[in-house]
A and B are shown apart, each in its own frame.
Chain A
Amino acid sequence: MQRHRILIVEDSPTMRQLLVFALKRLPGALLVEARDGMDGLRKVTSDHFDLALVDINMPVMDGLKLIHLIRDEESLADMPIVVITTEGAEEDRARALALGADEYLTKPVQANKVLAVARSLLKL
């Protein structure tokens, strides 16, 4: 079975658990959690991932900075990124997409919505 490595960068343990709960339903999903942007950057640069789910408001390094750094790295330029955030304003969405995010989901997010977006980006 093909393995899909997914990185969840989220400071809220509640949201991390909910996302793990949702994505565990993907066959072959291998889930890795990061507690903030810096932790996420460390993990994404030291291992291969097929998809990253990134929150925006996080301590140490926010999600927008993380997306910017990921897209600056040539080897990570094609990795799909989904933003999951409380920021629902149109300008926040536009900023994240302009930085290179592939999808923008606002909280509260339903598990099946996350699953559908992940399936689509992983081409399952």
Chain B
Amino acid sequence: MSQREGDLFERASEFLAMFRRGAEFTRELVEENARLRRKLLELETRQSDAAQDPKEWGRLREELVDRIQGLESERQDVLDRVQSLEQENRHFAQRFLEIEEENNHLANLYVASYQLHSTLDLSEVLRIVVEIVINLIGAEVLCVYALDERSGLLAPVAAEGRERASFPSLALGSGLVGASVQRGEILTREAAQGGAEGEPLASIPLRVGERSIGAIALFSLLVQKQKLSALDHELFTLLGGHAATAILAAQLHTQSERKLNTMQGLIELLTR
């Protein structure tokens, strides 16, 4: 068989298959048409009987009323279900927001805690404390005070927004900062009631167990930060404990290094 004859044969087969499909479709259409005709005839007969026979008419009416009632009840069920799903959806959306917020809080707390314990260098720890207060709380002016237990004075050791020297040393128990260190409580200006001008917005005592070692005082917030939030108070609590531990650990580390150097120097002197 030549190429041309092969092509013709293939096209003829395709045409035949298409024709068969068309015939099948036509047969289905004819059958459907016959079924619909029968249905129509049945309904017409029933309607005409009903028009002549009041009993049949009553039965038909009852059937329809039952059907309508059934559909209405079904509709009510669907509406109730939609309402319940909408409520469930709202509940999930609310829970999602709460979990997202909690996630943000935990991220901030984790990062703050991780950074505070990432070094034993005192100046680095103080820099991290300042960084956390600026970046995570949004403070513009702040000062970190260290308590000298012998003199009972709180001396500024780190500051941001103003020169450290511009912050005076404070006596334990005096003013918002002194009071918060003495009482071991976070105090805010509102809570202090009628704090004097120049007093900070908030003072966070730095405590290791029952021992106070200083405080962080927040004097003003960044222009875009209107007020302190619930998360800020959680961060205050974390800073009060973790910053204090980190500062104390760094102080002890510095002291032990100094002592080690002195002893090494002494040993070298004796063994020379």
Tell me whether A and B are bound partners: yes
What is the interface of chain A, defined by CB distance below 8 A to chain B? 12-15, 17-18, 21-22, 86, 88-89, 106-108, 110-112
Please determine whether B135 and A88 come into contact, CB atoms closer than 8 angstroms.
no
| B223–A88 touching, CB < 8 Å | yes
The winner among A12, A13, A14, A17 for most chain B CB atoms within 10 A is A14
How many angstroms between the C-alpha atoms of A88 and B118 in the bound complex? 30
Interfacial residues, chain B to chain A (CB-CB below 8 A): 100-101, 103-104, 107-108, 110-112, 114-115, 118, 128, 131-132, 134-138, 140, 222-225
Contact between A108 and B111, CB atoms less than 8 A apart: no
Query: Do A12 and B225 touch across chains, with their CB atoms under 8 A apart?
Result: no
Q: How far is the CA of A106 from the CA of B206 in the complex (A)?
A: 28
Provide the bound-state CA to CA distance between A89 and B104, in Å. Answer: 25
Known pairs A88-B225, A111-B103. 7 more at Cβ < 8 A? A12-B135, A14-B115, A14-B135, A15-B131, A107-B222, A110-B104, A112-B103
A-B pairs, top 9 by smallest CB distance, nearest first, are A88-B224, A108-B138, A88-B223, A106-B224, A18-B111, A14-B115, A111-B107, A110-B104, A17-B111
Whether the pair B222, A17 counts as a contact (CB closer than 8 A) is no
A50 to chain B, nearest CB (A): 23
Q: Are B135 and A86 in contact (CB under 8 A)?
A: yes
> Contact between A14 and B136 (Cβ–Cβ < 8 Å)?
yes
A-B contact number at CB 8 A:
58
A58 to B143, CA, bound (A): 21
Contacts of A107 in B (CB 8 A): 134-135, 138, 222
A121 to B104, CA, bound (A): 21
Question: Do B223 and A89 touch (CB < 8 A)?
Answer: yes
Selected from A21, A86, A88, the residue in CB contact (under 8 A) with B107 is A21
Query: Once bound together, how far apart are the Cα atoms of A69 and B223, in whole Å?
Result: 28
- Distance between A104 CB and nearest chain B CB, rounded to angstroms: 11
Known A86-B134, A112-B103; judge A18-B222 contact (CB<8 A): no
Q: Contacts A14-B131, A21-B110; is A88 near B104 (CB within 8 Å)? A: no
Choose among B100, B103, B132, B222 the residue that contacts A14 (Cβ–Cβ < 8 A).
B132
Q: Which of B114, B128, B136 contacts A108 (CB 8 A)?
A: B136
Tell me whether A108 and B135 are in contact in the complex, defined as CB-CB below 8 angstroms, given that A13-B115, A14-B112, A17-B114 are known contacts. yes
Contacts of B132 in A (CB 8 A): 14
